Structure 1
Amino acid sequence: MKYVKPLALIFFVSALLGAIALAALYFYIRPELPSVAILKDVRLQTPMKVYSQDGQLISQFGVKRRIPLELKNIPEPMLQAFLATEDSRFYDHPGVDIIGVARAFMNLVTTGEKGQGASTITMQLARNFFLSREKAWMRKIKETFIALHIEQLLSKDEILELYLNKIELGHRAFGVGAAAQVYFGKTVDELNLAEIATIAGLPKAPSNLNPISNPAASKERRRVVLARMLDEGYISRADFTQAAELELEAKKHGAEIELHAPYLADMIYAEMIKRYGREEAETGGYQVYATVPSALQQAAQQAVKQNLHDYDERHGYRGPLAQLWEEPLPTPADKDSERQTIAEIPGSEDENTAWSEQQMTAFLTGEPSFPPLEPAIVTQVEEKQIRVFTLLTGYIDIGWDGLAWARPFITDSKQGPEPEQASDILKPGAHIMIRFNEELEQWQLSQFPDASSALVSLEPESGAIRAIVGGYSFYQSQFNRAIQAKRQVGSNIKPFIYSAALEKGYSLASIINDAPINQWDRNSGIAWRPKNSPEVYDGPIRMRVALGRSKNVVSVRLLRSVGLDDIISHLAKFGFNPNELPKDESLALGSASQTPLEVARGIAIIGNGGYAVEPYFIERVDNEFGETLWHANPAIAAPAFSEQQDAPLDLLAISEGKDLTLPPLYAPQVLSRQNAFLTREMMRTAIYGGGSWSKNTYWQGTGWRANNLMSRDDLAGKTGTTNDAKDTWFSGLGGNLVTTTWVGFDDMSRSLGRTSRNQYLINRNPQQFNWMGNAMVGAEDGARVAQPAWIRFMREALEGVPEQYPTIPEDIVTVRIDRTTGKLTQRTDHTSRFEYFIRGTEPTQYVDDSEFVDPFDQGQPVIESEDIF
């Protein structure tokens, strides 16, 4: 007993001194300790995700990959794996595990090295949020105090949930949700036990123990995790054995993109940065929903790409990308023995030696692909067929139907002779591009199109963009031609010129002289002679017919009558910057440069009754929990039936508790309903033409192909082609959409050129030839180059959409007129038609017998080609 009291005293004094020292240490470092209160409202850095209107993932932006999960949504085996490996007494200690500390201390005493066994999950959370991974005593002490504070602030479940979402797990994956996606392409509830154990083993050394960088070390670490789960009674011996020996196929997975629309994603990314700043946009966990439905976007992209390939094939094949070897491959009988002599590295042997499959694979691995284009190497050439090797598909045989289009490209306006056999086109060793033609359901030789294109489609009533394509491939060129390329619009300007004429009292029956113009310019010493294309002049012609046939000289005469300044002021109503418009008469023929989106916006004003809606492409922004932070509230076109009537009920507004007694937000009306209606009527004529088939007086407008193909009566449109066909356009309305397409070269010095007859292309797709007519032969223009993309898209977009006819506005009257003079007539035959007028502008005189002309007696009908200034 004489030793007990001294020992007890020593122990008591030591404990007291230790407590005093610990308290002193705590108060010494307390000013350096961060406040853990922020963990109550912690916001994990989560990447921004962009979705289509119908919820398909388009893209993800942000360096850190994180998929925040609530604890209840994490599978129990995942929780058990982390608890068993990282902190088996997590629910029993106050943030610091005394047993773990004692174990670490004994390890230090016996080995002289600092161990890591003392860190609890709470301490790791403290380190991840507030400290570094530096192995230092002071960091460990701070970590301990912070952990104790965390335990006072948060529940155990809250701590574990934060930890599992915060922990770094390699390859920029933070949290178990992201790790499951990055390593295995799965959600956490889809993981098997082996995959769970693999992820649970990563916190110790995520860079060295992950299954991508070091599969062997990862498998060994997986065994350790499974052993701990076995020891804790979470799994059976059979579970351990099966999961420990299972071979896993881990590879780096990106975000599971469901809709590839990179031009749209880039627009949204730029807008989010503008709103929130780069760091906040990339880490705030925003879920951005576009106004674009996935089906329409896919249809637009397919239409643009197929149309560019159609144009490209008409102009010929520019040859292989490279010739990798000259000699043909050996015959199949001795192929294996021959390959034994071929070096493994491309180019290391004689350049005339055929490459092995391994060499071709190594070469193609470094070559870019631009879907649907796929890089390939020609391995065999027969009379009417070739065999190619690709990375994704292996060996593919391409028959003559996929080759015969490839006559040589000489210039944009000249093509070589049609090939007679496959060797006229390619040799073994050629590095080429191929694609699967979905319309013809076959593989074919292809090439990256030289020409570029863009498409914009929007809803005229609201301005919501429903599809947008900025080029063939974002990965080849990030330049978004839909919103960045200002190109001369050609005759796409004419509907706006004719609208200005209506403002000055012209009517659809007004007669303008379609005759050549010769104007001497004293300053330049030359005469300006705008021409029709083709150079056919019909003399006096009604304004409706002039727009339908796209008469250039009529457009110039209208500009002169209205006045250049008034024309520019009127064009400004459609959103065109007056400072960017040419101050001369070439404006009437489309010398102004606009982007496809600007043109589409202008056409939308015609389509919605005269309201200047603003295009927008973000429908709403949610946070990472799906709560809506912002929703678009665009100014819309007022309903045609009553400009004072409330708009239809907004269900989202109701759900958000908005005051529905407020009047709807209407866009400014910049054009009268009457003017918009009559302008659209003239654009309808460009699609449907006029005259009588039975009397042989029918004529076709420049957009007649849309009428032939779409079987709808609510279409309206306008072609456009500039000098030398450097820019081609088609803009039109149908159903609930306004769509503009553009095709041209990024190199503005190049012309879209001409094509000679290619009988193979005609034979391969006679249906296309039938509706394209002579579009496959001759000079390229808006009707031949840009309109087919519009038709392809609109046929898909309007499938099942009811025809939508504009409401006839008040003060619009109809009277029967004579087709030749525009005057009133009492005839009811092919020489007359009902025409629309703004009340007060309708004709008051009847056609005199001396003025009457029967078009049937004037010869064959005129089929217009296109309009070029």
Structure 2
Amino acid sequence: MKYLKLFILIIICSAVLGTISVISLYFYIKPELPSVAILKDVRLQTPMKIYSQDGLLISQYGVKRRIPLELNNIPDGLKQAILATEDSRFYEHPGIDPIGVMRAFVNLVVTGEKGQGASTITMQLARNFFLSPDKAWMRKIKEAFISWHIEQVLTKDEILTLYLNKIELGHRAFGVGAAAQVYFGKDIGDLSLAQLATIAGLFKAPSTLNPISNPQRSLERRRVVLARMLDEGYINRQEFEQAASEDIQAKKHGAEIELDAPYLADMIYAEMVTRYGKEEAETGGYQVYATVTSKLQRLAQQATIRNLHDYDERHGFRGPLQQLWQLDENGETEAWNESQMREFLAEQPSFKPLLPAIVTRVEEQQIQVFTQQGQYLDINWDGLAWARPYVSDTRQGDEPKVAADIVTEGALVWVRFNDETDFWQLSQFPDASAAFIALNPADGAVQAIVGGYSFYQSQFNRATQAKRQVGSNIKPFVYSAALEHGFTLGSIMNDAPINQWDRKSGVVWRPKNSPEVYDGPIRMRLALGRSKNVVSVRLLRGVGIDNIIQHLARFGFNPDDIPRDESLALGSSSLTPMELATGFAVIANGGYAVTPYIIERIDNEFGETLWHADPAIAPPLNGEAQELMAQESTEGLTEDANATQHYAPSVISKENAFLTREMMTTAITGGGNWSKKTYWQGTGWRANNMMDRDDLAGKTGTTNDSKDTWFSGIGGNLVATAWVGFDDMSRSLGRTSRNQYLINKNPQKFNWMGNAMVGPEDGARVAQPAWIRFMREALDGVPESYPPVPEGIVTVRIDRTTGKLTQRTDHTARFEYFMKGTEPTQYVDDEEFIDPFEQDTPAQETEDIF
């Protein structure tokens, strides 16, 4: 009894001393302990994701991949696997597991090494947030105290949720949601038990136990996890055996990009960095929704790429990239084997839709190639015959007769699948560059944007960064200025050569039409539709350079980019495709200056909207909209003195916008009667041939020597601008000679705008086909949308030749629109009247050039 009392006393004293020691130690290190209250509002570093308007992932930015998940969105199987292997008594202990501590102590006594850390999930969370992973006594003590604090602040479910989302699991995957994507390319809810056990096995040592770096060790660890689940009663023996033997198909997966639009993604990334700073943008978990839809963006990219290939292929084949082997003097070869080809091609870049390939066999009119994907493809004559030799931008060689005229065995070439003709063909990376931009004219929302053939080859965004001369694309804005200064669609202009001595340069300036056809007196509507250069110059003279520049500034064009000489009437100004499309949006929406934008909204990682675009909009072109505008302007600023008006400013009258669009319409439809010799074609006639719509309006543009080609136009609810040219501004787009194979082989519909076209390259032949391809699909099923005639517009019947009033109702007359008060007041005299049917001069088509 004496010894028992002594033993009990020793235990009590030890307990008291231990408690005092623990309390003393706690207060000693308390100043060094972090506040765990921040865990209540912890914000995990999550990458920024960019989506299309319809929710397809475009890109992801940020080094750490993390997909934050609520606990109820994490499968029970994974939670059970984690608890079984990491902390089976998690819901029972207060953050420190006494049994685990004793087990670690016994292991230390027996082995003399700190092999087991006795860490609970709470302690691991404390280490991950606040401490280093070093195995030191003081770190373990701090870890225990912090864990106890955490248990006072957070619930068990909150701790487990943070733990599953915070921990690093290898290959830059943070949290179980990201791990599911990185290792299996799936959402966490779609994983099998075996895959869930594999992820649970990563928690012990992600760098050495992951199924990509160490598949065998990962397999062994998976079996351990499943065995612990079996011991804890979470699974039965059959489930254990099935999951332990399953082939989990693990490999590294990148972000699941559903819409590859890198130029758009790069623009949005830059805007987010401007808003939030680089670190915050990349780690704040922002989910950014673009204004583009996946359908329109894909259409724009496909149209731009196809159009560049059409241009490039009609100019000829520039030869293989390399000759890897060739015939020797005896006609024999030492061809590479398949292993050599695989190894070589694996190191070659690819630019969708182009694939690098090696020619392995050449027959009479067919070749066989071995592709980067390890496939042998046969390319028949349909995919080869286009490849006549490229000589220069203006010359092509003879058409090939056999495949050996084009390539030989051992040649490294590009191939691509032609969606329009449904076969594989020989190809090449286009030398020319392109850009495309489509806007909603009502509010400026970008509907599609393409900055070049491939972002991965060149990050220069030509849609927003390339200032190029616009050629005749400037003319609608010049004509709009003329309407402001008394000219009308029926005004008669003198389409005759101009010769002007320039005292400064000492030379004569002679602007020319292209082709050099001059029609004498011509109505202003026809002059724009047929892009008469000299008429544009005469209008500039009539309005005045200063007035023209002031008017162009209304469309958002920087006056500093506009030359103060008469060449501006022909498009010597340099603008970006985005600036040009924005200007045409003013014409399309009835005269309102909208601002382009690319972000519709920004959400946080939980889907809560943080910011939503609130653009100034152009009201619908009807009386109700005007009344609404007037009502809003008279209501005043009631709640917020700094509130902004949501309607875009009116920069030209709706009458001016209507008449300018009318002239652009006839640039596509033409007019008159062929049998009566009043018929004429506008420079954009191909759009009329390809699209059965009456609401199209557009304008071609070509600069000197065809260095820049454009087409801008309006259709339905869209405004779009296409540009094609060389990045090397000294190069001309040239001309092409007839390729009989292309003419015979291509479907007739593509002959109007595809690689079968011949002659000098210009806006109608080079840029317009991309616009047509895009608009034809984008507007499929979209109702025609033509603006109503404004109240300030009147319609009268005029004589086609003189623009004066007429009482005739035959082919010599037409109804024309005028601003009220500017309509003609005189009737055509018999002496002035001319019947084109009795004339010998046929109607002519005019292409435009500056």
TM-score, length-normalised on structure 2? 0.97
Please tell me whether the aligned partners of residues 701 and 863 of structure 1 are also in contact (alpha carbons under 8 angstroms).
Answer: no
Shift of 1:768: 4.0
Q: How does 1:530-545 map to 2 (within 5 A)?
A: 530-545=511-526
Residue aligning to 1:52: 52
Amino acid at match of 2:305: K
Give distance in 2, aligned partners of 1:621 and 1:663. 21
Q: How does 1:262-411 map to 2 (within 5 A)?
A: 262-327=262-327, 352-392=333-373, 394-411=375-392
Give distance in 2, aligned partners of 1:678 and 1:194. 69
Residue aligned with 1:484, SS: coil
1:450 alignment partner, one of 420, 428, 431: 431
Give distance in 2, aligned partners of 1:379 and 1:321. 15
Amino acid at match of 1:357: E
Shift of 1:289: 0.8
Give distance in 2, aligned partners of 1:378 and 1:518. 58
CA gap of 1:204–1:773, structure 2 versus 1, over 3 A, is closer
Shift of 1:468: 0.7
Amino acid at match of 2:395: K
CA gap of 1:473–1:774, structure 2 versus 1, over 3 A, is closer
Amino acid at match of 1:749: S
Give distance in 2, aligned partners of 1:62 and 1:445. 38
Shift of 1:420: 0.4
Q: What do residues 572-608 of structure 1 show as CA deviations (whole Å, max 9, x unaligned)?
A: 0000000121111110000000000100000000111
Residue aligning to 1:440: 421
Give distance in 2, aligned partners of 1:769 and 1:172. 48
Residue aligning to 2:832: 851
Residue aligned with 1:386, SS: strand
Amino acid at match of 2:734: G
Residue aligning to 1:202: 202
Residue aligning to 2:812: 831
Shift of 1:20: 1.3
Please tell me whether the aligned partners of residues 699 and 861 of structure 1 are also in contact (alpha carbons under 8 angstroms).
Answer: no
Give distance in 2, aligned partners of 1:139 and 1:847. 102
Residue aligning to 1:234: 234
Please tell me whether the aligned partners of residues 545 and 564 of structure 2 are also in contact (alpha carbons under 8 angstroms).
Answer: yes
Shift of 1:760: 0.9
Amino acid at match of 2:628: D
Please tell me whether the aligned partners of residues 762 and 769 of structure 1 are also in contact (alpha carbons under 8 angstroms).
Answer: no
Please tell me whether the aligned partners of residues 453 and 742 of structure 1 are also in contact (alpha carbons under 8 angstroms).
Answer: yes
Is there any run of 5+ residues in structure 2 with no aligned partner, and where? Answer: 631-638
Give distance in 1, aligned partners of 2:333 and 2:146. 70
Amino acid at match of 2:201: G
Residue aligning to 1:75: 75
Q: How does 1:608-627 map to 2 (within 5 A)?
A: 608-627=589-608
CA gap of 1:355–1:462, structure 2 versus 1, over 3 A, is same
TM-score, length-normalised on structure 1? 0.95
Give distance in 2, aligned partners of 1:362 and 1:663. 61
Residue aligning to 1:568: 549
Give distance in 1, aligned partners of 2:629 and 2:7. 89
Residue aligned with 1:288, SS: strand
Residue aligning to 1:783: 764
Shift of 1:305: 0.4
Q: What do residues 130-165 of structure 1 show as CA deviations (whole Å, max 9, x unaligned)?
A: 112122111111111111011111111111111111
| Mapped pair 1:160 → 2:160 | yes
Q: What do residues 796-819 of structure 1 show as CA deviations (whole Å, max 9, x unaligned)?
A: 110000111111111210111111
Residue aligning to 1:13: 13
Q: What do residues 214-264 of structure 1 show as CA deviations (whole Å, max 9, x unaligned)?
A: 111111111111111121121222222222222332111011111111111
| Mapped pair 1:646 → 2:628 | yes
Give distance in 2, aligned partners of 1:504 and 1:222. 81
Amino acid at match of 1:126: A
Residue aligning to 1:175: 175
Q: How does 1:339-738 map to 2 (within 5 A)?
A: 352-392=333-373, 394-642=375-623, 643-646=625-628, 665-738=646-719
Please tell me whether the aligned partners of residues 646 and 664 of structure 1 are also in contact (alpha carbons under 8 angstroms).
Answer: no
CA gap of 1:445–1:774, structure 2 versus 1, over 3 A, is closer
Amino acid at match of 1:645: E
Give distance in 2, aligned partners of 1:663 and 1:61. 33
Shift of 1:109: 1.4
| Mapped pair 1:126 → 2:126 | yes
Residue aligning to 1:111: 111
Structure 1 stretch displaced more, 854-863 or 594-603: 854-863
Give distance in 2, aligned partners of 1:769 and 1:276. 47
Please tell me whether the aligned partners of residues 690 and 749 of structure 2 are also in contact (alpha carbons under 8 angstroms).
Answer: no
Amino acid at match of 1:12: I
Residue aligned with 2:66, SS: coil
Residue aligning to 1:337: none
Give distance in 1, aligned partners of 2:594 and 2:470. 21
Give distance in 1, aligned partners of 2:268 and 2:603. 14
Q: How does 1:811-826 map to 2 (within 5 A)?
A: 811-826=792-807
Structure 1 stretch displaced more, 600-609 or 624-633: 624-633
Structure 1 stretch displaced more, 818-827 or 858-867: 858-867
Give distance in 2, aligned partners of 1:327 and 1:25. 84
CA gap of 1:176–1:770, structure 2 versus 1, over 3 A, is closer
| Same amino acid, percent of matched pairs | 76
Please tell me whether the aligned partners of residues 805 and 827 of structure 2 are also in contact (alpha carbons under 8 angstroms).
Answer: yes
Residue aligning to 2:634: none
Residue aligned with 1:301, SS: helix
Please tell me whether the aligned partners of residues 126 and 146 of structure 1 are also in contact (alpha carbons under 8 angstroms).
Answer: yes
Q: What do residues 669-693 of structure 1 show as CA deviations (whole Å, max 9, x unaligned)?
A: 0000111111001101100112212
Give distance in 2, aligned partners of 1:390 and 1:439. 21
Amino acid at match of 1:274: T
Please tell me whether the aligned partners of residues 435 and 577 of structure 2 are also in contact (alpha carbons under 8 angstroms).
Answer: yes
Give distance in 2, aligned partners of 1:459 and 1:104. 67
Give distance in 2, aligned partners of 1:4 and 1:354. 93
Residue aligning to 2:244: 244
Residue aligning to 1:87: 87
* Runs (4+) off by over 6 Å: none
Amino acid at match of 1:717: G
Structure 1 stretch displaced more, 620-629 or 635-644: 635-644
Amino acid at match of 2:247: E
Give distance in 2, aligned partners of 1:228 and 1:756. 76
Please tell me whether the aligned partners of residues 800 and 814 of structure 2 are also in contact (alpha carbons under 8 angstroms).
Answer: yes
Give distance in 1, aligned partners of 2:840 and 2:138. 101
CA gap of 1:103–1:327, structure 2 versus 1, over 3 A, is farther
Give distance in 2, aligned partners of 1:220 and 1:6. 51
Structure 1 stretch displaced more, 104-113 or 530-539: 104-113
Aligned residues: 840
CA gap of 1:823–1:67, structure 2 versus 1, over 3 A, is same
Q: What do residues 745-786 of structure 1 show as CA deviations (whole Å, max 9, x unaligned)?
A: 111111101101001111111414642499711110000000
Amino acid at match of 1:646: L
Give distance in 2, aligned partners of 1:465 and 1:769. 28
Shift of 1:663: 10
Is there any run of 5+ residues in structure 1 with no aligned partner, and where? Answer: 332-350, 649-657
Please tell me whether the aligned partners of residues 388 and 395 of structure 1 are also in contact (alpha carbons under 8 angstroms).
Answer: yes
Give distance in 1, aligned partners of 2:841 and 2:377. 52
| Mapped pair 1:213 → 2:194 | no
Residue aligning to 1:341: none
Structure 1 stretch displaced more, 398-407 or 210-219: 210-219
Amino acid at match of 1:326: Q
Residue aligned with 2:65, SS: coil
Shift of 1:862: 3.1
Give distance in 2, aligned partners of 1:131 and 1:663. 49
Q: What do residues 105-139 of structure 1 show as CA deviations (whole Å, max 9, x unaligned)?
A: 11111112112340100001111111121221111
Amino acid at match of 1:84: A
Shift of 1:284: 1.1
Shift of 1:57: 0.9
Give distance in 2, aligned partners of 1:865 and 1:709. 19
Give distance in 2, aligned partners of 1:860 and 1:851. 18
Amino acid at match of 1:264: L
Shift of 1:646: 3.4
